[in-house]
Structure 1
């Protein structure tokens, strides 16, 4: 059987509202025969019943990133497409029909932005990073005193004829819920988070079935979201502007061929309604008595509503939705706990991202609240672990009558496991649902072993990625939700295994390009927000750090390695070069980056335990780490330049790389192989990035090994060296020690958190201390999940020899200490699976068409084509 499946347009299964005039097409193949490859393909694209592009059969084995070259695409239309593939055995595979919807391709923006025109409440937020870090600033008990209310807009329209097609383009500075006749048509948290002042996305909705002949009500609720909400670590509002606004353009085509344009203008009216406030971090306060029931339906009395203020412009930064929208993926009925203090707490069973829905009894004017947190304290009582201003994570309801109330938040979400209930008598578990949300990214990797602790670690890695890859790749879902560049670059290889992140990270990289400074610097957080200056230091010229800014090189390269997308390298190449030029301007004549501030090997456990001051880790390691990262990124740039045919630039980076390597070994490593600063992470980086002269190498390895043993066989690596730790030991002949660290259960280690009941990856190795004390750390940070890369490669046996897994190395280490492991990965070519069992000596391998592999098993190496193989 020869099969074609998983059709994607612009790297998504069903993109809605893309405004790319030449979208790309991809598919995957499957076959039950060995040595199968595609010899030709055919694509056909249809608009309604008419074919607008037919490639005919093209001789090629290409199955992804094929650009559209048919008739000019039309705005707001639903296109259908099919693919056929013929293999080398003469078998033909035909796909099912896939589809995509175009956005406003012609960029005709003919309506107006609408807002209230009223001033918002004065900003009184604390801007002292020192006070916030010290825990001296706490969230307000009455956020309604400083937060603004979401705004309701409405208008009625008339449709006098039969509608053939109607499409709505909508966006906001803020986040919105769009309704027609009481039915919500918008995505969760639209228009999502981008660098708003430089890149704002609009959404496309097919509303044909809703606009029947007659009168219709259009209603919108507009909340602060990221635009004016209390976002980032500092929790300071108005980061992108001082006024929210909304835009809607509905293009109607009637069956008689005529067209009509409807949307936002001066005829809309506005009012406040049932929400006293709704903030992404603080939560919502819903007052039932103020609800405007039926506001988005016809016949609603809006005589007391005010006229909107309308304006034009700002359309040059609009782009169609370029990633899959957020979605609800799971609904959990929680367990109800009664704590020693007598608190009533919901337990979701795992640390998740989402919100709480309630449908149950209420009493008139008795406030109900849901406060969300990640942990219970060591005595089993509710503990709010997130410090800072505006981090309440608390939703409130004020019912206007006794009876049954139904409520779920509309404009906020939380990172939590536990929910403290107040205001509900005799709560029942079935009255609650925990709604889990994610970014719509499809799971591509599976990794299961004979060791349940390792399996739990893998689930923790996945769950942290699921909760943090919402809109942008965030550090944590409860405290900052910030796109820290360093987190993403260390985690990227693991990310590409677990999920299809290509489209998602391409959008984030676009924001990175837009946020790059004139001198080439990459801000440490993308999207960059103004309040970060209070962390970096006002007036500070340097807003980048080695290992963080380097993400502009490393992340596109990891995407190329995983997905074989040259376009990612091309799109970001100028950004990479500008960054490298900036760094080159900062390094010494010897090629060492020994100036400026850097985070260094951030959060080294032993230093944190001794001082509690993360800046100590930066000061002790910043110079060596910055120089090591410079060598590392120049080496990556050499490869990128060779892929793109940039030979002169490759030669330039080779010369820089060689100079830095030589100088690093001379300055930072003594003749007996000892680092200037005797820290695990610095040895790991020096060895892993090949910065050690050969005659010093073995001594350097011995020092590293001794440091590990002296630390009770526990890691003591910081943020940037953790990804290289196990691989470096493994490659240097210390395989047993690498596995000792992986399976270690004492702190600090990956499995220590598992023994403490972790269901996600922690920010801090001892977020829960050995004595049971719960710290105010984040319990959902994906960065240390970078260990997944080592597990999938050495235990799972999966390694890409050529970009995109066109050629695959299968080399599971059966001496890893486990009895068996099963690994599967859906590459751009199709599914790869590896299943080994030590006791039986069995290895089963499956490779998709168009790929090949090399198997390392039982001391032998063999080359294979694609297909299924069983070895014993």
Structure 2
């Protein structure tokens, strides 16, 4: 066996972790068939686990002596196979601890009153050969850190957004190569972010309990070859001045006056005598913790597809894609010339549309650059990102290029199909999700930039199926815990400043993301520690939800948000139906978590009571239809959600599903679901034998449908089904992709940490082939199928540690050939599929009668 892909705390070579007992993972591989890991041996620094009999290859916890702060540890692992043969030791990897319990020492929070984004600096000397240098820093809301004229990182909009009253993140930077013998300088430019938001908005970010002027804490630790250690910390010795960034806001954009730029301000030779001494300022009340999730980065730079003059002095650049980020400009203009850049997702009447009724004022997503007149000038924003496709340029015509900006998470899935629409939808959903990853999962990069819990609730399975979000969602789950009220209640946006506890709340379908996301994380990554860390907060939340149940029902004010024809938001049906259904689902998720942790609970009893209340109130047993007194017509979501969650009585489930399929057909194979129903409609139809109907809905081109969006020019998922959708970069209606991956390509995660997969391409209509490759925590899983005439060929890649249940479409078991047949074992036949159970290896199946 071979061992590779070593990670500590889900990361390759994490720099600055505050986890005192890190967890390790690796991927074992072997040629042939049926390979298994039976034992492992882990070495971390001087600690040796010895040979441990276990098939576990992830979540293996360090169990040695207490780790030392600010220390790099080398580690490796080897494994044993089913014949008790040891592998070679894997190539060594490392992780480095952060400050742990040591903290920031003598460093203080510093800042000061300036009329623009502050620049802070400190000169210091280096008097020897530097072995190692680390800069530990937190600048709120954002900090661009520099040493000797160079940025210390390529991360942007850093550190991550949190509830600053509970948690403040610091970042560790390796700055060894940036130091020089003799005089040096360390500096920072600070942006406002959500911490110092001063743009009035309906979510009241500008009056959050933590709101304050930007501030910085930093600790630079220099280790010399002769074992001396020196430190430079933020204190009264630092200097401050207002910089050229006159204003910055996540909602309104930035204004930068290049005439005020101070070349060399971050270099050792710069004279800062005219600058003011900094103030030592109050620390935010949140606990300083190491930032463990991926930073936000500029992940791509591309030229616009066109730049057209729409009238004298006004140009519109079409970036060719809807995305999140900003543009970088290159301009040569007289001093004082203001170049205005207005960002938007659409164009109307010769102008980029940049309107946001939730934010005060008429300046929305607009950057302004005031030229210095010094020749060719290059600039890009530092402290705000925008959602856009188009940029309206006024004042001068610069060269611009698109800078795509999002949390730098890894893509884990590749999908292909002979049906172009499926590939288009999958790519659009991927781009939409990425556009909404900026340290938190947001709803839209244009309007809100808020962490709406309902969006993540419905999107999480698709998001986890396409991207590596182990660290990202671990961080956001911490934000959920931080946002919890003393009562146990959770708000509808997270992080929050207090907004969302009474506004658009209670809305059960939204904060039930907590147990459901924990459950999904365990399915994807087998993460038991995460469950243990959140159990107490989770039970407090569920107790709050149960305490407000009335007559067996959960009251909710949001419901199936934005179905066709209801662009004002809520669906017309009684929202207690979906509210109760989602609380039922949350109770079952919590019950599974409690069982796993060995925690006593009565969540299954509570779930049964909720199911009874829902069925008693909304189920017409004679007609086999769920409906409420508020319904204007048959509501697909009201029927598909109980089916999806297993609430429908078993004697009625087939009839309820038949009525659902009949309604879909009566509408010309159109959906009438909002964000809650859309993700389960096609899987439920397929599961109950209506795969052809599901396929027709998926490939529909007229309103309302995904195809309708793309015929209107979409390249991402939209917020509303209507052509005038307010937001055109909103993932919660794009969850059709989960069905594409699981039912068209046919790959489903069937167990904890992908220990079992189910391969069942049961929505093959209108498609000649499909394939999906997914990098899981156990290794790469792949499913590829194609059909030609009456021959169906299926190839399945199963990594070590995974068992696959493969359903081969066929008319009888005798029509299926497996390679290698001698190892495939006995097959069973059921409902049009020949079913094999196989272990690690590459398996090929052919059916002559599919």
> What TM-score results when the alignment is normalised by the length of structure 1?
0.89
Q: Residue deviations 1:363-412, cap 9 Å, x none?
A: 322211222111233x7753335544266222211112152111121222
Contact 2:310 2:316 in 1 (8 A): no
The aligned counterpart of 2:827 is none
Task: Sort the Cα spacing of 1:253 and 1:281 in 2 relative to 1 into closer, same or farther, 3 A.
Answer: same
Total equivalences in the alignment: 808
Please report how far the alpha carbon of residue 543 of structure 1 lies from its aligned counterpart in structure 2 after TM superposition. 4.4
784-793 or 486-495: which moved more? 784-793
Please report how far the alpha carbon of residue 457 of structure 1 lies from its aligned counterpart in structure 2 after TM superposition. 0.6
One of 541, 560, 569 as aligned partner of 1:601 = 560
The aligned counterpart of 1:128 is none
Q: Residue deviations 1:820-849, cap 9 Å, x none?
A: 001111111000000100115211110101
One of 713, 737, 762 as aligned partner of 1:788 = 737
The aligned counterpart of 2:52 is 58
The aligned counterpart of 1:133 is none
Query: Would you say 1:853 and 2:804 are equivalent positions?
Result: yes
The aligned counterpart of 1:263 is 233
Contact 2:643 2:684 in 1 (8 A): yes
Task: Sort the Cα spacing of 1:663 and 1:235 in 2 relative to 1 into closer, same or farther, 3 A.
Answer: closer
Whole-Å separation in 2 of the counterparts to 1:421 and 1:369: 6
Structure 1 SS opposite 2:837: strand
Contact 1:232 1:482 in 2 (8 A): no
Whole-Å separation in 1 of the counterparts to 2:31 and 2:320: 41
The aligned counterpart of 1:157 is 124
The aligned counterpart of 1:592 is 553
Contact 2:200 2:359 in 1 (8 A): no
Query: Would you say 1:718 and 2:688 are equivalent positions?
Result: no
Contact 2:525 2:777 in 1 (8 A): yes
Please report how far the alpha carbon of residue 729 of structure 1 lies from its aligned counterpart in structure 2 after TM superposition. 1.6
One of 630, 636, 646 as aligned partner of 2:589 = 636
The aligned counterpart of 2:615 is 665
For 1:404-803, what aligned pairs fall within 5 Å after superposition? Answer: 404-425=376-397, 431-532=399-500, 536-537=502-503, 543-588=505-550, 590-593=551-554, 595=555, 597-606=556-565, 608=566, 612-615=567-570, 617=571, 620-646=573-599, 648-649=600-601, 652-670=602-620, 671-674=622-625, 675-676=627-628, 677=631, 678-766=634-722, 769=723, 774-775=724-725, 777-803=726-752
Structure 2 SS opposite 1:324: coil
The aligned counterpart of 2:815 is none
The aligned counterpart of 1:129 is none
Structure 2 SS opposite 1:838: strand
The aligned counterpart of 1:863 is 837
Structure 2 SS opposite 1:728: helix
Structure 1 unaligned regions, length at least 5:
46-50, 121-147
Structure 2 unaligned regions, length at least 5:
811-832
The aligned counterpart of 1:279 is 249
The aligned counterpart of 2:767 is 818
Please report how far the alpha carbon of residue 642 of structure 1 lies from its aligned counterpart in structure 2 after TM superposition. 2.1
Please report how far the alpha carbon of residue 709 of structure 1 lies from its aligned counterpart in structure 2 after TM superposition. 3.2
Q: CA RMSD in A?
A: 2.3
The aligned counterpart of 2:138 is 171
Contact 2:164 2:286 in 1 (8 A): no
Contact 1:231 1:480 in 2 (8 A): no
Whole-Å separation in 2 of the counterparts to 1:470 and 1:14: 22
Whole-Å separation in 2 of the counterparts to 1:29 and 1:437: 34
The aligned counterpart of 2:270 is 300
The aligned counterpart of 1:22 is 21
Please report how far the alpha carbon of residue 639 of structure 1 lies from its aligned counterpart in structure 2 after TM superposition. 2.1
Whole-Å separation in 2 of the counterparts to 1:453 and 1:35: 37
Contact 2:505 2:557 in 1 (8 A): no
Structure 2 SS opposite 1:92: coil
Structure 2 SS opposite 1:172: strand
Contact 1:288 1:397 in 2 (8 A): yes
Task: Sort the Cα spacing of 1:286 and 1:423 in 2 relative to 1 into closer, same or farther, 3 A.
Answer: same
Please report how far the alpha carbon of residue 185 of structure 1 lies from its aligned counterpart in structure 2 after TM superposition. 0.7
Contact 1:233 1:480 in 2 (8 A): no
Please report how far the alpha carbon of residue 116 of structure 1 lies from its aligned counterpart in structure 2 after TM superposition. 4.1
Task: Sort the Cα spacing of 1:696 and 1:108 in 2 relative to 1 into closer, same or farther, 3 A.
Answer: closer
Please report how far the alpha carbon of residue 328 of structure 1 lies from its aligned counterpart in structure 2 after TM superposition. 2.0
Task: Sort the Cα spacing of 1:12 and 1:451 in 2 relative to 1 into closer, same or farther, 3 A.
Answer: same
Q: Residue deviations 1:290-342, cap 9 Å, x none?
A: 11111111232222211111146558601011112112221101122326556
22-31 or 847-856: which moved more? 22-31
Contact 1:232 1:480 in 2 (8 A): no
Query: Would you say 1:101 and 2:96 are equivalent positions?
Result: yes
Whole-Å separation in 2 of the counterparts to 1:756 and 1:339: 24
For 1:292-441, what aligned pairs fall within 5 Å after superposition? Answer: 292-311=262-281, 317-338=287-308, 343-377=314-348, 382-384=352-354, 386-389=356-359, 392-401=364-373, 403-425=375-397, 431-441=399-409
Contact 1:112 1:311 in 2 (8 A): no
Whole-Å separation in 2 of the counterparts to 1:335 and 1:321: 37
> What TM-score results when the alignment is normalised by the length of structure 2?
0.91
Whole-Å separation in 1 of the counterparts to 2:30 and 2:132: 40
Please report how far the alpha carbon of residue 552 of structure 1 lies from its aligned counterpart in structure 2 after TM superposition. 1.0
Q: Residue deviations 1:695-720, cap 9 Å, x none?
A: 44444334423432343321111222
Whole-Å separation in 2 of the counterparts to 1:233 and 1:781: 20
